[in-house]
Amino acid sequence: MSVAIGLGLMEFPFAGAADYWRWVDLCESGGVDSLWQTDRLVSRTPILECMAVMAALAGRTRRMRFGMNVVSLALRDPVLLAKQCATIDVLSEGRLLPAFGIGSPVGPEWEALDIDTKTRGRRTDESLEIIARLWREDSVDFAGRHYRLKGASISPKPVQPDLPMWIGGSSEAAIRRTAKYGTGWQSGAERPAETGRIIAAIKTAVAEAGRSIDDDHYGAAFPFYFGSPDDSIVSGAMAAYTKRTGRDAQGYFAIGDAGTILARVREYVDAGVSKFILRPVGSGDGVLDQTKQLIEKVLPSISTRK
């Protein structure tokens, strides 16, 4: 099993585009495996729109892959999203990593856009079927509760013949959804023990469905920080995380030195994870510094792990 370290952002922690591209260029030259952007449509906090970011990264980078972590399908038109993914995959020469989910029920979008959260699951399942079929079929008819298509098609198709379809979520429905549609699974804020339980459940469900998911297609994510947990930037980030999610930030954030971060990676690897999305805590030059330290102190150890 090979271990790959990607980096992800939710909020936009930079003063402007120039600083963001400095960070992207650092990741590209430093051997980071992939970049990921959280999906958030409604926010008072600066957050970039994830599909626009994917298109921009396709033009800026030449080596790295990139993905959405994860796009909320119930908030998107599936035909448009299938077309966007295919276009970005073509222009990046096959480097897109699409990741889809149901969306958090506590997200601000549902109330702001007047969407019933009880429809999230059905909308997501219908969207997954539509997108997968549009990527491989020349004409798609579909009659669902939320979407109806007649002779729909997109061209060009994705460059990747089997464009990955990573699925997020930890519920029983998400496990079934991954087993039915997914080529990979990406955790949210699950700790290693919970992640291992979900991976085992997915593998059982995949076998029952007569499908397979590669062992190296299970992912985890966590924030990291080189420094002290008493630093104000960390305490603030942890408090904001707890307020946003209702989860205890202790044990989720990896704070300390390279050994601390590597130990957390190993916990997840032992649970069956091989793909990672690490989120640097900080803003501006602090994000660049945290990323540089990860590249210099952590990636050399990760690259040799099998």
Q: What is the pLDDT of residues 247-266, one digit of tens each?
A: 888 889 999 999 999 999 99
Helix axes 285-297, 258-270, angle to 10 degrees: 70
pLDDT tier, 1 (very low <50, low <70, confident <90, very high otherwise)? low
Phi and psi, residue 222, nearest 5°: -160, 155
Identify whether the C-beta of residue 205 lies closer than 8 Å to the C-beta of residue 178.
yes
Residue 105 is predicted with a pLDDT of: 80
Q: What angle do CA 85, 91, 96 make, to 5 degrees?
A: 45
- Those residues whose C-beta lies under 8 Å from the C-beta of residue 217, and which sit 6 or more positions away, are 164, 166, 183, 184, 185, 274, 275
pLDDT at 188 over 90: no
Mean pLDDT on 29-34: 98
Identify whether the C-beta of residue 98 lies closer than 8 Å to the C-beta of residue 71.
yes
pLDDT tens-digit series, residues 121-176? 999 999 999 999 999 999 999 999 999 999 999 999 999 987 889 999 889 999 99
pLDDT at 244 over 80: no
Beta bridge partners, 167, equal 100, 185
Task: Give the CA radius of gyration of the chain.
Answer: 19
Mean pLDDT on 93-115: 91
Residue 181 has which token pair? 């549609």
Residue 305 is predicted with a pLDDT of: 45
pLDDT at 106 over 90: no
Half-sphere exposure in the Cβ direction for 241 (13 Å, CA): 20
pLDDT at 94 over 70: yes
Least confident segment among 17-31, 107-121, 146-160, 285-299 = 107-121
**Alpha carbon distance 206, 211 (integer Å):** 5
**195-208 burial code (b ≥16 CB/10 A, e <16):** bbebbebbbebbee
Percent residues over pLDDT 90 in the chain: 85
Beta bridge partners, 221, equal 277
Largest CA distance in the chain: 58
Average pLDDT, rounded, for the chain: 94
Residue 303 is predicted with a pLDDT of: 60
pLDDT at 306 over 50: no
Identify whether the C-beta of residue 138 lies closer than 8 Å to the C-beta of residue 157.
no
Residue 148 is predicted with a pLDDT of: 98
Phi and psi, residue 30, nearest 5°: -90, 0
For the question of whether the overall pTM of this predicted structure is more than 0.85, the answer is: yes
Mean pLDDT on 58-79: 96
pLDDT tens-digit series, residues 221-243? 999 999 999 999 998 899 888 88
Residue 163 is predicted with a pLDDT of: 87
Q: In 3D, which of 121, 122, 117 has the Cα closest to residue 107?
A: 117
Residue 249 is predicted with a pLDDT of: 84
Question: Any alpha helices (H) in the chain, and if so which ranges?
Answer: 17-30, 50-60, 78-91, 109-112, 120-136, 172-181, 192-208, 232-245, 258-270, 285-297, 299-302
Helix axes 120-136, 78-91, angle to 10 degrees: 40
